[in-house]
Structure 1
Amino acid sequence: MTDPSCAVAHGEAEPRTDTRTLVAVFATPVAEYLLKYGSDLGYRTVLHDPKDGELPELDGTADVVVTDHHRDELGEVLRDVLAHPVRWVGVMGNPHHAGPHVEALKQLGVAAEQIDRVHRPIGLNIGSRTPPEIALATLAGLVADRNGRPGGFEF
Structure 2
Amino acid sequence: MTDPNCAVAHGEAEPETETRTLVAVFATPVAEYLLKYGSDLGYHTVQYDPRENSLPTLDGTADVVVTDHHRPELGEVLRDVLAHPVRWVGVMGNPRHPGPHVEALKQLGVPPEQIDRVHRPIGLNIGSRTPPEIAIATLAGLLADRNGRSGGFF
Which ranges in structure 1 are unaligned for 5 or more consecutive residues?
none
Which residue in the other structure is 1:7 paired with? 7
**Deviation per residue, 1:94-150 (Å, 9 max, x gap):** 000000000000000000000000000000000100000000000000000000001
Which residue in the other structure is 1:123 paired with? 123
Which residue in the other structure is 1:44 paired with? 44
> What's the offset of the Cα at 1:14?
1.2
Which residue in the other structure is 2:101 paired with? 101
> What's the offset of the Cα at 1:53?
2.5
Does 2:150 match 1:135? no
TM-score normalised by structure 2 residue count: 0.98
Which ranges in structure 2 are unaligned for 5 or more consecutive residues?
none
CA RMSD of aligned residues (A): 0.7
The number of equivalent residue pairs is: 154
Equivalences for 1:55-94 in 2 at 5 Å? 55-94=55-94
> What's the offset of the Cα at 1:13?
1.1
> What's the offset of the Cα at 1:22?
0.3
> What's the offset of the Cα at 1:70?
0.4
> What's the offset of the Cα at 1:2?
2.2
Instruction: Flag as ranges the 4+ runs of structure 1 deviating above 2 A.
Output: none
Rounded to whole Å, the distance in 2 between the matches of 1:57 and 1:38 is 19
Which residue in the other structure is 1:111 paired with? 111
TM-score normalised by structure 1 residue count: 0.98
Rounded to whole Å, the distance in 2 between the matches of 1:34 and 1:94 is 18
Which residue in the other structure is 1:145 paired with? 145
Q: Which has the larger displacement, 6-15 or 75-84?
A: 6-15
**Deviation per residue, 1:53-108 (Å, 9 max, x gap):** 22000000000000000000000000000000000000000000000000000000
**Deviation per residue, 1:42-62 (Å, 9 max, x gap):** 110000011122200000000
Rounded to whole Å, the distance in 1 between the matches of 2:61 and 2:53 is 21
> What's the offset of the Cα at 1:37?
0.6
Rounded to whole Å, the distance in 2 between the matches of 1:3 and 1:100 is 44
Q: Aligned residues: percent identity? A: 88
Rounded to whole Å, the distance in 1 between the matches of 2:16 and 2:81 is 27
**Deviation per residue, 1:1-55 (Å, 9 max, x gap):** 3221011100111111100000000010000000111111111000001112220
Q: Which has the larger displacement, 61-70 or 9-18?
A: 9-18
